[in-house]
Amino acid sequence: MSNEYVGKVLESVKKRYPGEAEFHQAVTEVLESLVPVIEKNKDLEEAGILERIVEPERQIIFRVPWVDDKGKVQVNRGLRVQYNSALGPYKGGIRFHPSVNTSIIKFLGFEQIFKNSLTGLMMGGGKGGADFDPKGKSDNEVMRFCQSFMTELYRHIDADTDVPAGDIGVGGREIGFMFGQYKRIKNIWHGVLTGKGLNYGGSLARTEATGYGCVYFCEEMLKDRKTSFEGKKVVISGSGNVAIYAAQKAQALGAKVLAVSDSGGFVYDPDGIKVDIVKDLKEVKRARISEYVKEVKSAKYTEGCSKIWEIPCDVALPCATQNELDGKSAEMLVKNGCIAVAEGANMPSTPEAVQVFLKAKVAFGPGKAANAGGVATSGLEMAQDSQRLMWSFEEVDKKLHQIMINIHKSAKNAAEEYGTAGNLVNGANIAGFMKVAGVMKSNGVI
């Protein structure tokens, strides 16, 4: 389905930001699914909602100089995109990875607007990062980098303005260093970052939230197909924060997780991945996933990532990075009988892969819905910080579970209402968009 207004806005984005492939990809997917909404609500064009929503409210790019252990000066580039504050303070993670650039941060920030809206909590959308690679760096180098990064970022963020969290390459260690530096410079203690340690304002279940949430979302998709995780074979890409806890929850619900990966390759364990071993390798030793086979002799390591999708499974949970699952891999999954795919990562499936899943009627949960549990629990962390209270693990997990059920319902209902029943890509985009667009209209032309 095409629409002149949508086409015009898409063209202008491509012209204004040439060469930003990931950003174009994310905007195209959202805008195309909004066509029926735009046709039904002519006032949206009059209010210039699409032109405004694709343009970030503010983009900050800054130099991050730091000194490595050999005494050499290193320089990285820091970014923060404050995308849309219609629903609340900008909220979205910080990514440290050599591939970080404006296209990637803008695609993530744009997605975040709709994801945060879907959670039902009052959070705007933003994202940030740096082309810094924490891999192979000492703790002291990581600390010096984080301190330098925050020495610029602190002027742009605040508990009621912009509240970053972790993402690829940013876990508890990095958040701790950044929080310390923010507090030192501003001389204020408030919940300016989420994903904090439990001894200084963090929330129980935040570490587990994205992975658990993804599985809760997938469980709802499976329920619609009158089935569950019990006895299912699951393949999960990645072995970071999201992948580990998705594996843990899937196993708790009776599934067998056959494989996990990192950027070097994947391990296949026919007896089921031992999550404790992966946790120890990744969270404690910061080792490569290939080390897993030293501890589990029956497991097999394969170099390279894409072949992970050739392992026959019932459920696939891509939890590593963008565009990691292409059309060919999607076809292989479908051929091998996969019935459900829930994206723990952001935009891990290419547009071709998404089309393969939708056409084959595989239950498909797009990242902005399926991985929203992380930011939702960050929202719960903000609420606890404001109250100076700490809720129990069970309380947070219960709220997270309910939020994921609600997100699934909103996406499903919106898809039905706009004539594409079962298409949760359209449903999530539409449901997320409607709320933000409504507020943007009420707030006038800003």
Q: List the catalytic residue out of 91, 106, 115, 127.
A: 127
Binding-site residue total for ligand NDP (CB under 6 A)? 24
What residues pair up with 163 in beta bridges, in sequence order? 91
| Residue 371 in the binding site for ligand NDP (CB under 6 A) | yes
Those residues with Cβ within 8 angstroms of residue 50's Cβ, 6 or more apart along the chain or in another chain:
5, 6, 9, 31, 34, 38, 44
| Residue 117 in the binding site for ligand NDP (CB under 6 A) | no
Say if residue 127 is exposed, middle or buried (CB neighbours under 10 Å; 0-12, 13-18, 19+).
buried
Cα 188 to chain centroid distance, Å, stands at 29
Tell which one of 240, 379, 427, 432 touches ligand NDP (CB under 6 A): 240
**Closer CB to ligand NDP, residue 53 or residue 308?**
308
Q: Which stretch binds ligand NDP (CB under 6 A): 35-43, 145-153, 236-244, 435-443?
A: 236-244
CB of 348 within 8 A of CB of 318? Answer: yes
Rounded Cα gap, residues 381 and 370, in angstroms: 19
| Residue 429 in the binding site for ligand NDP (CB under 6 A) | no
Q: Which stretch binds ligand NDP (CB under 6 A): 20-28, 72-80, 164-172, 389-397?
A: 164-172
**Closer CB to ligand NDP, residue 172 or residue 438?**
172
CB of 436 within 8 A of CB of 53? Answer: yes
Binding track over 43-82 against ligand NDP, x by CB under 6 A: ----------------------------------------
> At how many degrees (to 10) do helices 393-417 and 206-224 cross?
40
Greatest Cα pair distance, the chain, in angstroms, is 64
Binding track over 293-332 against ligand NDP, x by CB under 6 A: ------------x-------------xxx--x--------
Q: Is the dihedral of CA 311, 25, 169, 99 positive or negative?
A: positive
**Closer CB to ligand NDP, residue 88 or residue 128?**
128
Tell which one of 202, 374, 379, 432 touches ligand NDP (CB under 6 A): 374
Rg over CA atoms, the chain: 21
**Closer CB to ligand NDP, residue 37 or residue 305?**
305
Q: Least distance to ligand NDP from the beta carbon of 10, Å?
A: 24
Which of the residues 246 through 265 are near ligand NDP (CB under 6 A)?
262-264
SS3 (DSSP) at 275: helix
CB of 315 within 8 A of CB of 338? Answer: yes
Structure tokens at 147: 């301190």
Q: Least distance to ligand NDP from the beta carbon of 362, Å?
A: 20
| Residue 242 in the binding site for ligand NDP (CB under 6 A) | yes
Binding track over 193-232 against ligand NDP, x by CB under 6 A: -----------------x----------------------
Structure tokens at 278: 């992966």
- Residue 127 among the catalytic residues: yes
| Residue 241 in the binding site for ligand NDP (CB under 6 A) | yes
| Residue 381 in the binding site for ligand NDP (CB under 6 A) | no
The count of C-alpha atoms lying within 13 angstroms of the C-alpha of 46, restricted to the half-sphere facing its C-beta, is 6
| Residue 344 in the binding site for ligand NDP (CB under 6 A) | yes
Tell which one of 13, 168, 204, 246 touches ligand NDP (CB under 6 A): 168
Rounded Cα gap, residues 133 and 51, in angstroms: 34
**Closer CB to ligand NDP, residue 151 or residue 194?**
194
Rounded Cα gap, residues 84 and 443, in angstroms: 13
Tell which one of 88, 124, 126, 166 touches ligand NDP (CB under 6 A): 166
Tell which one of 33, 102, 194, 239 touches ligand NDP (CB under 6 A): 239
Say if residue 301 is exposed, middle or buried (CB neighbours under 10 Å; 0-12, 13-18, 19+).
middle
**Closer CB to ligand NDP, residue 194 or residue 420?**
194
**Closer CB to ligand NDP, residue 169 or residue 432?**
169
Rounded Cα gap, residues 384 and 156, in angstroms: 23
CB of 47 within 8 A of CB of 440? Answer: yes
| Residue 362 in the binding site for ligand NDP (CB under 6 A) | no
Rounded Cα gap, residues 111 and 412, in angstroms: 18
- Name which of 212, 209, 205 is nearest 229 in CA terms: 212
| Positions marked active-site | 127
Point out which residues bind ligand NDP (CB under 6 A): 166-169, 210, 238-243, 262-264, 305, 319-321, 324, 344-346, 371, 374
